[in-house]
């Protein structure tokens, strides 16, 4: 072991007798003779150890060393000096032996450790085959595969893993020279999938010396036969790039990319074929017919030599034809087998597709081109192929148009064009016949091939500007977006480009089919977008969004899934998992797009079948276009043509519009014409969706065949918003009484059994009892779990009753009291006490009054009972009206007096012709009640007009500050003495009261305003301190706008405690709410409480305008000018004070505006925006934060006092 400067570190002998540190330990689970030996049987226990054979003769016997990718271990293959056989030993980086391989006869010198560290590759020569074997780091064998050569044909010179461990290169040399005396060399590229090893590429080299060696990336460019390589190595950074150095000092660079060879047909005859190269076989699977997991396939096509590439025909009508290019430049053409579907006589199996048949084998003569001299072959027409080969210079490529020769055995170059640069991909669109060429720097060219000569032009968009990929893409396709054809490309770095626009990153695979773009991403999702419904910007926006809950374009898939193919005109998408197995999914976007097309074309049966299989809610049949559905209900019934399917549709109906909730159209699609709402979907239809559909379907089915669709008709009754169970039961009863004679009809028993499936048996029994049909009741009861002893006595009792009383008893039992009252009222006067009790118990007064004539004694008694009920509920006036209209004047007068309805009371009293003294007493009694309610003016009317007491009337008006009305009565009754004794003292007292009140309001307003300024200043300082500390978690606490938020929106400990209190009881919630308006200094909501108090003061003072004006008029009249002037001046100053301070109190701090500017920080701006977004919660909070409006238009001042 040496350093990078070749200084020895340690030295140990290669050949050691010890196994190593990883020696296996026997745990003593029995002897070998007693263990299970599988198919070998018990003889394996007595089998003798095999003889160790020495290494092959051509082995150079040199030790081979290979390091693991992480540099922690290395393996060494050396020839044992005792046995002459090779052994592999695994060492760590300190040269400590870890393990020694078991005895492997025929083990050869090639050795390479997989970079991922799991396996060590070597080769082994068996008596009848030549294999590549794999060893674990403990020295045990772990799998192998057989090389497609004879055991003595060639020897393995080297094994080489690429950097990402996906491809194993096997470097072979012939054991014997050829006829020309030169030893041929072959390099095979192998990869594994689903535990099967595939030979993907085979490069054959001769031994001829090249005079003019050239270095080219892409393929060999030598003027003679390709010389053999002397050095082969993978690129350390680009996993699929292989470098070769030949004997002619030519440097060759081969670059590959992973591709899926799939058919490109758009018609219904495309079998969605996918071809897989496996040495000299092409494995073809028709995914339209079956999904066969690899390594199996539908068909195996045997070719004469290892296959280099496969291409499918792009011509319309021949999507299943394919051509395979072998490594000896032969093109094998396979065409779809002829013959239709047929059934075998014995088993009755049907042949749904035929294997491709070999049609022609062409040889392509390119004049000494090396391996892969012809590449990127595309089958564009039945007898036309495109291919790419090297140009005359390093920076050139040639695109060839190949057509069969006259003898049909070779492909001749019909035309060619030289392209400046290396062509790395060719893409052909079968729809537009456009051919796209991509160069190694991402440049795009369009190939004009339909003329006499090939020509290329730069790819341009509709505006004439050139379009190129920003980076070279491994996978390319052509698609149409908004009517314009675009190139689509995916790079090896997972960037998806549409022309020069990047659509998305993190894309692992894509496919374009039926105007849909489907792609998988590294975030384990599958996106499906409809190209003709998007613009380029729309695609970028759609792929950049995360998708909502019901986004149909997004679907989660298994980690590492890649798209294999999509079945055209279907919804099947085939995905391959990293381990190689296949999965078929039906993407929701494809399913819904197909459903919308079928529903638009009124293919209800096909849509119904798809929805059942894909579990789509059947409401979409109606919701997609309600008007079209209602107009074609008969077509729907005839197409579905199944009672069970129609019932399934009916049972899934619900009021929800699935086109808005479950299956909304993609957000970035252009808005489709809005379907007519259910209420206006068709003439004559109105109401709820479920009722409309049920009624329409029932009408249609009754017209078509009521006997066949009997169960569906029952379902329409049961499924309605208000289930029509009684109607459904009546129809079942009708079937029992008059059974239908049709063969398609169902019997009463079957119909009832179906109803019991839809409805709970107890509920159905209840509704059957409500039909008053005892035969139907017994029919339902027999199907229930009820004991006959429970219901038979009750039914027998009911049968013995009079019909109306019988129905009353049933309705009472079912708690249908309104119907019970109706039937009981028909039973005669002897049952009226029961009527009265039922009305009082169930409060059915309105219903009862409508059942009797207005002049009947029952009506009068019910009115009295209703009046008593209204009096108990505090509605004495309404009770009096009921009693008055039925002639109960005394009780009506008592009700009106109790309700202080004095006008009605006096009217009834006059109708009763009460004596004057009793009328005066009644007026005084009512006046006292009005004075208690502060209704002074009304009380004065009673005292003046009915009690004839003007002095008491004037006193009431003076008490109520009705100065003008009091003066009118004083002069009307010539009682000027009252002016001196009562009116003037009352005026002076009112002036003193108002002056004191205005002074207190001024002081209170000034104090609250000053305190509010202090509170705001303190909270602003605290907020700034928290912002400077970088903690804005409780910033919202320091503003009156946020202090009224709920506990979940603020960071205050106080509000959190309130949220705990609020969950306990309404009393505690009211208590917590009251704390918000506490004016206690230091409380968290003091600023809000101050605002609320200031708002209350403002409203109180503003409402005094009319009262102050009346007092001023009275003071001026009696020459109290000084008092009136002082009052007007104080009130005016207070109004001015409030009006001038409203902008300072409510506008400056309660309006939330984002705080930005040079002195703001990220935390302050964030807190400001959070404050702006958070709305106040309660109505009182909103009023406190809203500036109060004052009634400035009310004129209250007296100019004589100015």
667-671, 976-980, 1097-1101: which range is least confident on average? 667-671
603-617, 630-644, 1028-1042: which range is least confident on average? 1028-1042
pLDDT score recorded for residue 145: 95
Rounded CA separation 170/202 (Å): 9
Mean residue pLDDT of the chain comes to: 84
Closest of 302, 347, 841, 295 to residue 580, by C-alpha: 295
Percent of the chain surpassing pLDDT 90: 43
- With a cut of 60, say whether residue 338 has pLDDT above it: yes
- With a cut of 90, say whether residue 9 has pLDDT above it: no
How confident is the model over 500-529, as a mean pLDDT?
Answer: 93
In order, the DSSP letters of 444-481 are EEEEE-SSSS-EEEE-B-TTS-B---SS--SEEEEEEE
pLDDT score recorded for residue 212: 37
Which long-range contacts link 60-69 to residues 24+ away (Cβ below 8 Å)?
A: 60/109, 62/109, 63/14, 64/109, 64/110, 64/111, 65/111, 66/111, 66/112, 66/113, 66/120, 67/113, 68/113, 68/115, 68/117, 68/137, 69/113, 69/114, 69/115, 69/116, 69/117
266-270, 525-529, 1044-1048: which range is least confident on average? 1044-1048
How confident is the model over 213-239, as a mean pLDDT?
Answer: 64
174-188, 1003-1017, 1029-1043: which range is least confident on average? 1029-1043
Q: For 847-868, what is each residue's pLDDT tens digit?
A: 988 988 888 889 989 998 999 9
pLDDT score recorded for residue 47: 57
Q: For 428-447, what is each residue's pLDDT tens digit?
A: 998 888 999 999 999 999 99
CB contact at 8 A, 52 and 103: yes
pLDDT score recorded for residue 521: 95
pLDDT score recorded for residue 1041: 38
356-360, 998-1002, 1115-1119, 1168-1172: which range is least confident on average? 1168-1172
pLDDT score recorded for residue 1182: 63
Q: For 96-146, what is each residue's pLDDT tens digit?
A: 999 999 888 889 999 999 998 889 999 999 888 999 999 999 989 999 999
Q: What pLDDT band is residue 791 in, cutting at 50, 70 and 90?
A: confident
In order, the DSSP letters of 92-146 are ETT--EEEEPPP-TTEEEEEEE-TTSS-EEEEEE-SS-EEEEEE-TTS-EEEEEE
Rounded CA separation 263/284 (Å): 11
pLDDT score recorded for residue 1056: 39
Percent of the chain surpassing pLDDT 70: 86
Q: For 41-59, what is each residue's pLDDT tens digit?
A: 666 666 556 678 888 888 8
Q: For 459-507, what is each residue's pLDDT tens digit?
A: 999 888 999 999 999 999 999 998 899 999 999 999 999 999 999 999 9
Q: For 164-182, what is each residue's pLDDT tens digit?
A: 999 999 999 988 877 766 7
pLDDT score recorded for residue 1152: 45
- With a cut of 70, say whether residue 951 has pLDDT above it: yes
- With a cut of 60, say whether residue 679 has pLDDT above it: no
How confident is the model over 974-995, as a mean pLDDT?
Answer: 90
Closest of 131, 85, 99 to residue 16, by C-alpha: 99
423-428 and 516-521 strand pairing: unpaired
- The helix-helix angle for 643-651 and 604-614 (nearest 10°) equals 60
pLDDT score recorded for residue 1156: 52
- With a cut of 80, say whether residue 557 has pLDDT above it: yes
567-581, 742-756, 988-1002: which range is least confident on average? 742-756
- With a cut of 70, say whether residue 588 has pLDDT above it: yes
**Residue 101 structure tokens:** 């391989």
How confident is the model over 762-766, as a mean pLDDT?
Answer: 85
Rounded CA separation 608/1003 (Å): 79
């Amino acid at each position: 072991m040496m350093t990078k400067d070749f200084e020895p570190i340690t030295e140990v002998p290669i050949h050691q007798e010890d196994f190593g540190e990883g020696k296996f330990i026997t745990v003593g689970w029995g002897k070998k003779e007693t263990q299970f030996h599988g198919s070998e049987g018990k003889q394996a226990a007595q089998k003798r150890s095999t003889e160790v054979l020495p290494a092959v003769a051509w082995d150079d016997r040199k030790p081979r060393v290979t390091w693991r990718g992480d540099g922690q271990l290395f393996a060494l293959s050396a020839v044992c000096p005792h046995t002459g056989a090779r052994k592999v030993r695994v060492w760590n980086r300190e040269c400590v032996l870890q393990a020694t391989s078991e005895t492997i006869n025929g083990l050869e010198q090639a050795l390479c450790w997989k970079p991922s560290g799991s396996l060590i590759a070597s080769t082994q020569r068996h008596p009848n085959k030549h294999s590549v074997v794999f060893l674990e780091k403990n020295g045990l064998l772990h799998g192998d595969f057989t090389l497609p050569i004879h055991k003595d044909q060639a020897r393995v010179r080297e094994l080489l893993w690429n950097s990402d461990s996906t491809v194993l290169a096997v470097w072979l040399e012939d054991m014997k020279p050829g006829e020309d005396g030169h030893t041929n060399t072959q390099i095979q590229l192998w990869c594994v999938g689903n535990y099967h090893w595939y030979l993907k590429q085979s490069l054959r080299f001769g031994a001829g010396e090249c005079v003019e060696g050239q270095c080219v990336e892409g393929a060999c460019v030598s003027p003679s036969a390709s010389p053999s390589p002397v050095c082969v190595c993978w690129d350390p950074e680009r996993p699929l790039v292989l470098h070769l150095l030949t004997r002619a000092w030519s440097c060759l660079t081969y670059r590959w990319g992973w591709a899926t060879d799939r058919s490109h047909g758009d018609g219904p005859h495309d079998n969605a074929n996918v071809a897989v190269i496996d040495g000299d076989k092409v494995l073809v699977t028709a995914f339209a017919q079956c999904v066969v997991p690899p390594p199996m396939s539908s068909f195996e096509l045997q070719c004469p030599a290892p296959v280099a590439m496969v291409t499918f025909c792009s011509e319309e009508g021949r999507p299943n034809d394919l051509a395979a290019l072998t490594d000896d430049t032969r093109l094998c053409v396979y065409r779809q087998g002829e013959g239709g579907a047929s059934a075998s006589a014995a088993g009755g199996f049907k042949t749904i597709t035929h294997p491709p048949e070999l049609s022609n084998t062409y040889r392509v003569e390119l004049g000494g081109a090396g391996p892969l001299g012809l590449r990127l072959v595309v089958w564009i027409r039945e007898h036309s192929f495109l291919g790419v080969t090297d140009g005359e210079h390093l920076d050139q490529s040639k695109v060839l148009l190949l057509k069969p020769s006259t003898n049909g055995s070779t492909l001749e170059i019909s035309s060619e064009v030289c392209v400046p640069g290396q062509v790395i991909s060719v893409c052909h669109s079968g729809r537009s016949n456009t051919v796209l060429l991509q160069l190694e720097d991402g440049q795009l060219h369009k190939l004009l091939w339909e003329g006499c000569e090939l020509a290329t032009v730069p790819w341009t968009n509709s505006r004439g500007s050139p379009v190129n990929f920003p980076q070279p893409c491994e996978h390319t396709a052509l698609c149409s977006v908004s009517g314009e054809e675009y190139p689509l490309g995916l790079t090896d770095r997972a960037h998806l480009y549409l022309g020069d626009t990047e659509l998305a990153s993190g894309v692992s695979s894509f496919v374009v089919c039926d105007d849909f773009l489907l792609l998988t991403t590294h975030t384990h999702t599958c996106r499906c977008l409809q190209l003709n419904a998007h613009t380029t910007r729309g695609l970028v926006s759609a792929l950049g969004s995360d998708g909502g809950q019901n986004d149909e374009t997004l679907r989660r898939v298994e980690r590492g899934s890649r798209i294999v193919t999509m079945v055209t005109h279907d919804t099947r998408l085939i995905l391959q998992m990293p381990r190689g197995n296949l999965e078929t999914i039906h993407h929701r976007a494809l399913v819904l797009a197909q459903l919308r097309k079928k529903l638009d074309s009124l293919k209800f049966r096909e849509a119904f079948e798809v929805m059942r299989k894909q579990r789509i809610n059947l409401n979409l049949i109606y919701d997609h276009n309600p008007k079209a559905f209602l107009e074609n209900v008969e077509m729907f019934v005839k197409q579905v043509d199944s009672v069970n399917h129609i019932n399934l549709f009916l049972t899934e109906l619900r009021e929800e519009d699935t086109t808005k909730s479950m299956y909304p159209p993609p957000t970035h699609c252009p808005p489709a014409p809005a379907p007519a709402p259910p209420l206006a979907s068709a003439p004559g239809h109105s109401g709820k969706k479920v009722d409309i559909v049920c009624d329409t379907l029932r009408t249609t089915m009754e017209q078509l065949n009521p006997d066949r669709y009997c169960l569906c008709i029952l379902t329409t009754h049961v499924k309605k918003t208000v289930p029509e169970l009684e109607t459904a039961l009546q129809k079942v009863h009708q079937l029992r009484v008059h059974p239908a004679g049709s063969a398609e009809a169902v019997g009463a028993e079957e119909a009832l059994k179906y109803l019991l499936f839809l409805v709970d048996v107890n509920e159905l029994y209840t509704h059957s009892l409500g039909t008053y049909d005892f035969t139907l009741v017994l029919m339902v009861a027999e199907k229930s779990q009820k004991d006959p002893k429970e219901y038979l006595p009750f039914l027998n009792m009911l049968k013995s009753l009079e019909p109306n009383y019988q129905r009353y008893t049933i309705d009472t039992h079912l708690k249908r009291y309104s119907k019970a009252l109706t039937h009981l009222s028909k039973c005669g006067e002897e049952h009226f006490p029961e009527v009265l009790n039922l009305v009082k118990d169930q409060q059915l007064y309105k219903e009862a009054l409508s059942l009797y004539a207005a002049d009947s004694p029952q009506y009068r008694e019910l009115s009295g009972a209703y009046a008593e009920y209204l009096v108990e509920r505090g509605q004495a006036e309404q009770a009096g009206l009921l009693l008055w209209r039925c002639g109960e004047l005394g009780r009506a007068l008592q009700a009106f007096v109790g309700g202080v309805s004095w006008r009605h009371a006096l009217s009834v009293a006059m109708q009763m012709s009460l004596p004057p003294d009793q009328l005066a007493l009644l007026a005084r009694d009512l006046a006292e009640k009005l004075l208690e309610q502060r209704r002074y003016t009304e009380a004065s009317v009673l005292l003046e007009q009915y009690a004839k007491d003007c002095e008491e009337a004037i006193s009431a008006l003076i008490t109520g500050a009705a100065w003008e009305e009091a003066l009118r009565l004083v002069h009307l009754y010539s009682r000027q003495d009252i002016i001196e004794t009562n009116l003037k003292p009352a005026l002076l007292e009112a002036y003193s009261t108002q002056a004191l009140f205005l002074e207190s309001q001024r002081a209170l307003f000034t104090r609250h305003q000053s305190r509010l300024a202090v509170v705001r200043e303190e909270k602003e300082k605290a907020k700034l301190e928290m912002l400077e500390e970088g903690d804005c978690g409780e910033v919202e606490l320091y503003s009156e706008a946020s202090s009224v938020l709920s506990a979940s929106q603020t960071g205050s400990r106080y509000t959190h405690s309130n949220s705990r209190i609020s969950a306990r009881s309404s009393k505690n919630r009211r208590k917590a709410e009251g704390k918000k308006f506490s004016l206690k200094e230091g409380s968290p909501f003091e600023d809000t409480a101050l605002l609320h108090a200031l708002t209350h003061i403002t409203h109180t003072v503003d409402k005094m305008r009319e009262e102050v004006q009346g007092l001023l008029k009275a003071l001026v009249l009696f020459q109290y000018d000084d008092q009136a002037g002082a009052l007007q001046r104080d009130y005016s100053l207070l109004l001015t004070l409030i009006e001038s301070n409203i902008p300072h109190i409510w506008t400056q701090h309660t309006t939330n505006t984002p705080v930005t500017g040079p002195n703001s920080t990220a935390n302050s701006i964030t807190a400001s925006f959070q404050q702006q977004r958070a709305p106040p919660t309660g109505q009182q909070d909103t009023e406190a934060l809203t500036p109060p409006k004052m009634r400035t238009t009310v004129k209250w001042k007296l100019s004589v006092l100015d």
